[in-house]
């Protein structure tokens, strides 16, 4: 199957190329980058074994392929998504543009007007462990954000089974620097990150909160912090319990057979280094009287972005769900 990647020079685009070059069922037909247009991919990024030239985003629109990934920034992705929709090409959008069927929710949380809302009625939220059947029948999938993936996966089955009290969800998430994107910023400058640790979003101000609340149907109070590491997210989630002593049973029944969710025994907790480069979400939990505590970890570039997008593609096209995604992580 021939695929195209729009936005192949960012961190997420590079991860898509890295993983897809080992996928048995696909051929990367084109990769776009306005910045590196005309340069061979492997000459710009020597770690990526792809010897085709980057083309412009506009040129990518004219190429004939079977499937596409959109790894463009929010607001920039929507016009290309609408173009692919009109051409009848299946795609996964890794930006925020395609995560909400209601454009008003997007505009409320992203503080900008949606550029091409015509296709939104067809989009499916791409969290496979929860929405697998909808994804299987979808032509357009909005890939979840990294923070929401780490929060929604552990909370969804508990909320569904009436375990979590309303308005009591507090989330403390910590992310590596790649979560801020490839474009240099003052806040991600080496000397401002190295040997430092800081909060950068509190309360309900982070735009990913809208995504969490959209899926969970619960108010979420969220803190995001920047870790002095390259990649990975660790989220600690606190909430009041409506039911005591059932978390382990519910999580095991919901995720026990899932390839990309690892549950730890009660009182044991995951760490970032064990999920780096993997497509897993690792989950640990504890009940302390009427307080529920969850710790979840993901690689923000894999399960939080490119890996989950490829997992969605595999489901949408009938490939084995874990094709290309068998890397178990690197703990050293």
The DSSP secondary structure of 33-75, one letter per residue, reads -STTTTSBHHHHSTTS---SB-B-HHHHTTS--SEEEE-PPTT
pLDDT-above-70 percentage for the chain: 99
For 176-197, the pLDDT digits (tens) are: 988 877 777 777 778 778 888 8
Q: Is the pLDDT of residue 332 over 70?
A: no
Beta-ladder partners of 224: 173, 201
Q: How far is CA 240 from CA 29, 63, 288, 290, 294, in A?
A: 50, 52, 10, 6, 12
Q: How far apart are CA 331 and CA 329, in angstroms?
A: 6
Cβ proximity of 250 and 163 under 8 Å: yes
For 128-142, the pLDDT digits (tens) are: 999 999 999 999 999
Beta pairing, strands 220-226 & 261-263: unpaired
Active-site residues, by number, are 146
CATH architecture, domain 2-143+305-317: 3-Layer(aba) Sandwich (3.40)
Label residue 331 by pLDDT band (50, 70, 90): low
Label residue 278 by pLDDT band (50, 70, 90): very high
The ranges of the chain annotated as CATH 3.40.50.720 are 2-143+305-317
Mean pLDDT of 197-214: 93
Mean pLDDT of 6-31: 96
pLDDT attached to residue 189: 78
Q: Residue 249 contacts by C-beta under 8 Å, 6 or more apart in sequence?
A: none
Q: How far apart are CA 17 and CA 23, in angstroms?
A: 10
Which ranges of 180-233 does DSSP label H, i.e. alpha helix? 190-193, 208-216
pTM: 0.95
CA angle 20, 304, 170 (to 5 degrees): 175
CATH architecture, domain 146-298: 2-Layer Sandwich (3.30)
Q: How many CA atoms lie within 13 A of 17 on its CB side?
A: 29
In 189-299, the DSSP E strands lie at 198-201, 220-226, 233-240, 261-263, 281-288, 291-298
In 108-260, the DSSP E strands lie at 123-125, 140-142, 169-175, 198-201, 220-226, 233-240
What values do phi and psi take at 159, rounded to 5? Answer: -65, -45
Question: For the chain, first and last CA: distance in Å?
Answer: 35
The ranges of the chain annotated as CATH 3.30.360.10 are 146-298
What values do phi and psi take at 299, rounded to 5? Answer: -85, 120
Q: How far apart are CA 21 and CA 50, in angstroms?
A: 7
Beta-ladder partners of 72: none
Q: Which two tokens stand for residue 86?
A: 């009109």
pLDDT attached to residue 294: 98
The alpha carbon dihedral of 198, 203, 207, 213 has a sign of positive
pLDDT-above-90 percentage for the chain: 89
């Amino acid at each position: 199957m021939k695929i195209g990647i729009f936005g192949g020079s960012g961190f997420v685009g590079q991860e898509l190329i890295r993983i897809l070059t080992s996928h048995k069922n696909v051929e990367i037909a084109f990769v776009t980058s306005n910045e590196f247009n005309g340069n061979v991919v492997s000459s710009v990024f020597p770690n990526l074994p792809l010897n085709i030239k980057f083309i412009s985003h506009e040129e990518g629109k004219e190429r004939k392929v079977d499937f596409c990934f959109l790894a463009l920034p929010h607001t920039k992705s929507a016009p290309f998504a609408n173009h692919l929709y009109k051409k009848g090409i299946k795609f996964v959008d890794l930006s925020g543009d395609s995560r909400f069927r209601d454009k008003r929710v997007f505009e409320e949380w992203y503080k900008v007007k949606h550029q091409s809302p015509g296709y939104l009625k067809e989009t499916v939220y791409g969290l496979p462990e929860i929405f697998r059947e909808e994804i299987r029948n979808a032509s357009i999938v909005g890939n979840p954000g990294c923070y929401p993936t780490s929060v929604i996966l552990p909370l969804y089955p508990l909320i569904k089974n009436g375990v979590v009290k309303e308005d009591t969800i507090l989330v403390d998430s910590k992310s590596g620097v790649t979560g801020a994107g490839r474009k240099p910023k003052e806040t991600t400058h080496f000397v401002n990150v190295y040997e430092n640790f800081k909060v950068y979003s509190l309360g309900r101000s982070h735009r990913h909160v809208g995504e969490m609340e959209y899926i969970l149907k619960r108010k979420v109070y969220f803190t995001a912090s920047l870790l002095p590491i390259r990649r990975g997210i660790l989220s600690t989630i606190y909430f009041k319990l409506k039911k005591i002593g059932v978390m382990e049973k519910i999580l095991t029944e919901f995720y026990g057979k899932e390839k990309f969710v690892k549950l730890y025994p009660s009182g044991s907790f995951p760490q970032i280094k064990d999920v780096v480069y993997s497509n897993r979400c690792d989950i640990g939990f504890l009940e302390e009287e009427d307080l529920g505590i969850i710790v979840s970890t993901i690689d923000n570039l894999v399960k939080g972005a490119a890996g989950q997008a490829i997992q969605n593609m595999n489901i949408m096209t009938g490939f084995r769900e874990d094709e290309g995604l068998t890397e178990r992580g690197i703990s050293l």
